[in-house]
Amino acid sequence: IEQLFQRLHLDKNKNKLKIVEVLQLTAHSLKCHKSYAEEKLVWSFIQKLLMINYRARFTNVKYTSEQHHTQQRDSDDLKAMSYSNKGTGQSEQIHPMDVQMAVFHCADGFLKQLMVTKLSQCQYALPLLVPDPFTQQTEFPLWTFRQINKSWKMRNTNNETISKSQPIYKTKTPMVFFFRFGSVSSSKSQLMNSLINEKHDTFFHRNCPGSSRTRVLMDGVVEIAWFCPSGTNADKFTDCVAFCNLHGDAGDHEQQLQILTEMASVNVVLLPRQDRNDRHAAKIQNLYKDRKPLICLFTEDESTVKKMKKGKFQIGLKDRNQSDVSKELRRIINDCLSETSSTFRLEDVSKHSDIRVDEEDDEDCRRGREAAQQMMSLLEKKDLTEIKETFLPHQGKLWHQWSQMNKELHRLGADETEMDINRKHTELKEIREQQHKLKISEFMKFFIKEINSEAANKMYFFKWLRILLDERRSDDLSALHHKWSAVVKPKENHDESEQLIAELNELKRISEKLQAAALGLEHIMREIGQIYESCSSVKKNKKDLQVHFSSLPSLAAEMMISGYPLELMDGDAAHVPLIWISAVLDELVQKLGDQRVFVLSVLGIQSSGKSTMLNAMFGLQFAVSAGRCTRGAFMQLVRVSDEMKTQMNFDYILVVDTEGLNALELSGRSTRHHDNELATFVVGLANLTLINIFGENPSEMQDVLQIVVQAFMRMKKVNLNPSCVFVHQNNVSDVTAGEKNMEGRRRLQETMDEMTKLAAEEEDYDAECFSDVIRFDVQKDVKYLAHLWEGSSLMSPPNPDYCENIRELKKTIMSHASNSDRIRLIDLKDCIKDLWEALLNERFVFSFRNSLEISAYRKREYNNLPWSLRSAMMETENKLHNKIENGANHEVKETDLQRELKKASVEVKKYALKFFEIDKDKHKLIQWKKSLDIKIKDVQENIVRETKRKLNETHVNTLYEKSKELALKPKYKENDEETLKKEFDLFWKQYLNKIITDTPIIKDIDILRDVKLLLNDVYESAPVDHRRESRDILTVTSYADYVQSKKYFGLTGALKNVFRSAKEKLGIILSLEDEVQISLLVTDILQQTDKMIQSFNISKMGYNINCIQQLAGYIKRRVTEHQKQQVKYVFKNEFFKDLVLSICKRANKKITDQHRLFRDRNYPLIYVEKKREEYYSIFKKFCYEATSTAIFGEIICQKLKEPIEQSVYKKTARDLANEMRTECPSLRGNRSNLEKHILETLAEEEDFDKYMDYINNPRDHFKSFIRDEVSIYITDKFSVSVLPKMKENIELLQQKIMEAAHKSTEHVQENSGDVGLWLKSFTQRLSDELIFSEKDLCGVKHDDIDVDFKILKDVIRKELSSITSNIHKTNISNKKMDFRFRPDELLIDHFCQCCWVHCPFCGATCTNAIENHHGDHSVAFHRVIGIKGSHCFLSQNFCVDICTNLVASDKDFLTIDGLFRCNEYRKAGGVYAEWRITPDCFELSYWKWFVCRFQKDLENHYKEKIVGKGEIPNQWKKLRKQDAIESLDKYF
């Protein structure tokens, strides 16, 4: 036994298999093999079982060659032939049922329950009594049966068909018990299968595939299965009957034998022959004497049926036809059952005290059951119609009223006034307050108490509550079904009697009653959500809520993590509880981190198998029974395994299941509007939507198709990129291969195109066919599923083809997922909010009504108001900053700042008011007037805070005087060092507290947050994809996604057809000329914004959002100017947004570092703390009555420390840059030499991503390469070059400082001057060498300082030596240094101030060393054109042409202006006319080698194939890397 577990890599006692591990998405779950290695058997079985594939048991084992040889040797060994079958040798195949039972023994309670539920769905027998493999203690796993429901049909005495559906654990049925004594030649399990279902192996038997003689874990196991009749004449039994099967010799398992023979209605025993001396004869005799029917089957007897006495039969099996035996045995069993009233109930097995019951043995399970039962007891004797109203009042009328009112508020009529709007807002608030006043029922209090407990039984409590609620619902549904049958019959007979009308009214009343009584875990969680929303809305807790309402979302998040679905849209109120959902998602982020999710949704008509499909695909537990179809929308997390995370780049799949479209329950409502609303919501939310169609006839799905098309059109309006897969669930057994379904696909395409045209008319959308609206491939994105069941009877097992189709569909979904954008959990909240807010407006914000408002709102004048405001404010700030810098010492108060800003603020407000009053669209714009007022106020307050923050010198300059005053107090004159230290520390702490109180903190900045805030201010109403992550526009291979192209630009005739053909094949066409034009624009904007950032001087002035405003304003102006030129495209809003974001992301580190430098220099707390030791030294000198000269000299040198550092760094950086220009091979020559080294390095490293960075963004790649070279050089040469230079520069600067001190002393003595004159002379003499002025000492009063100038020079020399001793230890690239003066930046300025224009064909960079040079662009070293992503003409194949060959040919190329010959490329005009490309027959080995080396990478990157016209010539494939590197010498 232990060896079996080891071979299966299982451990019964440690690390139980958990359901969370099993349900995660793994690479294994996507694969299907004919055979598996032993260590994979367990996971293969589990994955197939989760997909309800009954072939899970029939798995072949794949042995290694070593195992195979061992097996061969054993079979040749005579001893092996007599090997005992009680053990499992390493060479023997593992029995399939041992795999199943091993998993069962090693699974935790929840996985066992799921496993048994799936076995039941596979129509397999289930473990009823299970001996522990090590202790032999018998266990009754009652818990595992709790989720199983069985349905069957039977005929009553009036020959009417009656349907029944019950949880199996409480169902009373007859039970037939099969067992054997001794070893028998016939298969007992196979015989039982022939009784129940000849076409399916309900019980595994010796002749099943994969069976072996040796099995370890099945002896003593009792399995149970139920026959469920279909209410037809073909039924083998007329009622539901249980069949139990004891495996192994019953004589060895007396406990199981005794229990089952007592509980059975009929006992059936298999024996070899009649033998009175048999050791089991006594047991058989007792059974014979018992009144209970007994059937003896003798495997070695040839006789037919013999009736020994009433209820006692014997049948011979030897050499008899199995079909005849089955027929005889079935007849006898039916006769016996008709004469007995004995019934069997599964729960009653637990009454036997000598067996272990899992529910009782597991304390957590038992406590969870007790809590759930206690909670359910509160519902006893309650009227069905009053259950929700009494126990769940928060989700009742008030919530429905609030939902309806909120929709009305978003869908205002043309005649509604501001008074109406205010009234509705007030009503909404009042409804929430009334909702908040509702009392929480004892039912809900008990639930909240339980889920707040820390006990481990919490998950068991959820499960038990769900089980008991479903049990109650099942009872209610049975009553409905019974009533339905009574009504349907007269209706079918066209009975128009008054009785029928009365019955129909009664049925309607019962339906409404059941709807009111429907109570599931989802309704309880909905109540929790509404309690939270009511508390959150009124901002206070409920008196009778035993916990704070803020803790409730955490509980829902825990449930989602544990695998429970959460209601996303309330199906009854048809509303999304946004406050609740947002809070739960926030808690998910807290618990899981900001995980990446791929959102998968499903749409289809009611009862089309959507939920069943999801459950089979991911092992989920969405409700699937006919009586409780999903209402609204539910979301559930599917965890992705670690191995898959790296492949798929997401952490979870968020599955969204929806209610059926055209649902009968919604009749009487506006179903079309509801369906459109639901479809649009879930499609907009999802990365991929499965459109589920039951059957293949498109006419039946016309409404669904129209809903989907309209939803996609709406998504398209906000630049979303939804995708879909159509899934046809056929009701035919034979699903033909994809190639044979061409006719069905064609019909689907025609139907979709027709529906698209209809929807386009309604939505005012320009679309001719489905592919105009959605990314969809009719060949790849149409899937056919076999029917779920293999037959029509209730005993039919699931169709294995269905399971295989599901697996293929799952692979398709994963393929979409790997190529799709992901969304972070933290952004999902905003996505849900934006979508729902848009849907509340009935149409998206780009509907007719809102489009006019947006057009007015986005007027240039109004758009520029926030920017005009910030610009005026910044001018004021600069003026105040200059006053502070020059005024030196006086304190500027907040009132002074407000006064300075008032004039600018008044001007901006006046302009805004004028705009709102006179504009022709003022009635649309007025709604934003208040928000603009708030913005003006916010910016004004911000500028005050920013300016006040910069008043730093006041604090620093008073420190000298404070230290002096403190030291001169009499009590400090004779204190020792320790006392002085304590007193100074106390003073220092008090002073720092004052700084903290008086000065706002200079916070760390978040550039990207500011960018998004600014863009939201200006473009809050623009159409934008809320879900897609912004792309780095500086590295994109094409700008086609950023432009909107006018239709064919007036082209006609053949040229129009060429253009249309190219567009169909390639998508949006953007000519090479256009691509180059846009690239030039982006490059130039990038260079100019770099200069702007440099000019901001952030290290001196600090950062504020005005920097971003100026950058965005400049970028917007350039983009607008570009569009005014004669270009044939219009930029989407995403172009401007992504360009601003990309430039700011690129500059983020530079700006952040510079601001950090500013903060360290200017924030009083940081600056003053750095001066602590300096002023403690001054304090001590005063205390010890040091001379004024010594103190003054120390202050001078301390003030010189930072200027000396900066001067030394700058000089050393210049020296190093000069040295590297001669010593470093890559930096020695011109830019061409540098590029040669870059290309050599790229070839040596063979890193495709780095190549693409160089190709798409050469300027940044050059900069990065230079920085790396400088860093390596400094590291390698620090001790031999960098350090000596720093020491030399320090010594030179010391000499100049001492010389300035000497001459200043002479100057003072000659003019009989004082300290002030000495300082003035000293600072002036150093002004060329250091940034140091009298202002740096402005806080130090020197009129009372008595300085001995004769010894001042010696004091300065001594102090100077001390402070410069550590400077040379600091790295030259230290971030303290001004960014502009680092050696790498000096070299970047030298090499990168040149032309960066790209060749319009291949993208190679012009080699001219002058930026904006006169004359043509040129480059000696052109590339293979396809490297930039270019296609072969009218093809999607990679282009392997080379510019220098192409311009010598008469091939054609296409621009937006038409076709041109390559040898006349300048005639194409534009950028083509600005390039000189010389035909060249030399071998371009380098780029040819690159294409061969990275063929697969290029194909994956550009989604193109290097075949056909783009096939690589064989000569290229012979090139080696060394050939490529050596070829560079020809061109550089």
How far apart (Å, rounded) are the C-alpha atoms in residues 1436 and 1064? 11
175's enclosing H/E stretch is strand 175-180
pLDDT above 80: residue 393: yes
Is 1434 within 8 Å of 1062 (Cβ atoms)? yes
* Two structure tokens written together for 1213: 């950086």
pLDDT above 90: residue 31: no
Q: Is 319 left (phi over 0), alpha (psi -120 to 50) or beta?
A: left
pLDDT above 90: residue 124: yes
Amino acid present at 1250: K
How far apart (Å, rounded) are the C-alpha atoms in residues 1216 and 1220? 6
**How far are the Cα atoms of 334, 380, 552 from residue 341, in angstroms, in the given order?**
12, 30, 51
For 1320-1329, write each residue's pLDDT tens digit.
888 888 888 8
How far apart (Å, rounded) are the C-alpha atoms in residues 699 and 706? 11
Cβ-proximal residues to 1371 (8 Å cutoff; 6+ apart), any chain? 1274
Cβ-proximal residues to 921 (8 Å cutoff; 6+ apart), any chain? 852, 853, 855, 856, 859
Which 3 state secondary structure label does DSSP give 278? coil
* Two structure tokens written together for 1277: 């040469």
DSSP letter assigned to residue 775 = B
How far apart (Å, rounded) are the C-alpha atoms in residues 223 and 392? 42
Residue 1460's pLDDT band (cuts 50, 70, 90): confident
Residue 1040's pLDDT band (cuts 50, 70, 90): confident
* Two structure tokens written together for 921: 């669209």
E strand residue ranges, 997-1120:
1043-1045
Beta bridge partners of 661: 605
Place of tokens 């007036």: 1050
**Range from 193-207, 551-565, 1359-1373, 1390-1404 carrying the lowest mean pLDDT:** 1359-1373
Which 3 state secondary structure label does DSSP give 1037? coil
* Two structure tokens written together for 11: 């451990």
* pLDDT more than 90, % of the chain: 23
pLDDT above 60: residue 149: yes
Give the number of other Cβ atoms within 10 Å of residue 1280's Cβ.
8
Which 3 state secondary structure label does DSSP give 1454? strand
How far apart (Å, rounded) are the C-alpha atoms in residues 1245 and 1242? 5
* Two structure tokens written together for 703: 């409404």
* Two structure tokens written together for 1485: 């080995």
Place of tokens 């040889």: 69
State the pLDDT at residue 479: 59
E strand residue ranges, 101-159:
126-131, 138-140, 149-155
Which 3 state secondary structure label does DSSP give 212? coil
How far apart (Å, rounded) are the C-alpha atoms in residues 208 and 193? 12
Indicate the average pLDDT of the chain: 78
How far apart (Å, rounded) are the C-alpha atoms in residues 781 and 441? 49
335's enclosing H/E stretch is helix 322-338
How far apart (Å, rounded) are the C-alpha atoms in residues 42 and 487? 50
Residue 712's pLDDT band (cuts 50, 70, 90): low
Is 435 within 8 Å of 402 (Cβ atoms)? yes
Give the number of other Cβ atoms within 10 Å of residue 1380's Cβ.
14
Which 3 state secondary structure label does DSSP give 724? strand
E strand residue ranges, 4-101:
35-36, 60-61
DSSP letter assigned to residue 1442 = B
Which 3 state secondary structure label does DSSP give 313? strand
How far apart (Å, rounded) are the C-alpha atoms in residues 613 and 92? 37
State the pLDDT at residue 665: 47
Which 3 state secondary structure label does DSSP give 151? strand
pLDDT, greater one: 420 or 309: 309
Which 3 state secondary structure label does DSSP give 1464? helix
How far apart (Å, rounded) are the C-alpha atoms in residues 301 and 272? 8
Helices (H) and strands (E) in the chain, counts: 57, 28
Amino acid present at 542: K
Place of tokens 């399971």: 803
How far apart (Å, rounded) are the C-alpha atoms in residues 599 and 635? 9
For 56-93, write each residue's pLDDT tens digit.
888 777 655 544 444 444 444 433 333 334 444 445 78
1274's enclosing H/E stretch is helix 1258-1277
**What length is written for the chain?**
1532
Span 1097-1126, average pLDDT:
84
How far apart (Å, rounded) are the C-alpha atoms in residues 121 and 119? 5
State the pLDDT at residue 891: 52
Place of tokens 């009784």: 195
Which 3 state secondary structure label does DSSP give 745? helix
Which 3 state secondary structure label does DSSP give 3? helix
Span 1266-1292, average pLDDT:
87
Amino acid present at 672: R
State the pLDDT at residue 1067: 45
Residue 1240's pLDDT band (cuts 50, 70, 90): very high
Taking 3-state DSSP, the helix, strand and coil percentages for the chain, each rounded to the nearest 5, stand at 60, 10, 30
* Two structure tokens written together for 1178: 């001054």
Q: Is 542 left (phi over 0), alpha (psi -120 to 50) or beta?
A: beta
Amino acid present at 253: H
State the pLDDT at residue 1429: 76
How far apart (Å, rounded) are the C-alpha atoms in residues 22 and 639? 10
Span 936-950, average pLDDT:
58
pTM for this entry: 0.57
Span 1212-1238, average pLDDT:
89
pLDDT, greater one: 1017 or 783: 783
Instruction: Select, from the ranges 431-435, 899-903, 1103-1107, the one with the highest average predicted confidence (pLDDT).
Output: 431-435
* Two structure tokens written together for 658: 């929806």
How far apart (Å, rounded) are the C-alpha atoms in residues 825 and 837? 19
* Two structure tokens written together for 119: 């076995």
Beta bridge partners of 1475: 1417
Is 427 within 8 Å of 403 (Cβ atoms)? no
DSSP output for 812-841? HHHHHHHTS--EEHHHHHHHHHHHHHHHHT
Among candidate residues 539, 564, 545, 335, the one with its CA nearest the CA of residue 447: 545
How far apart (Å, rounded) are the C-alpha atoms in residues 555 and 584? 8
Place of tokens 């039969």: 313
DSSP output for 582-593? HHHHHHHHHHH-
Residue 705's pLDDT band (cuts 50, 70, 90): low
- State residue 162 phi and psi, 5-degree precision: -115, 130
**Burial of 21 from C-beta contacts in 10 A (0-12 / 13-18 / 19+):** middle
pLDDT above 70: residue 630: no
For 1342-1377, write each residue's pLDDT tens digit.
555 667 777 788 888 888 887 777 676 555 544 445
User: Taking the CA of residue 1395 as centre, how many other CA atoms within 13 Å lie in the half-sphere pointing to its CB?
Assistant: 20
How far apart (Å, rounded) are the C-alpha atoms in residues 790 and 27? 28
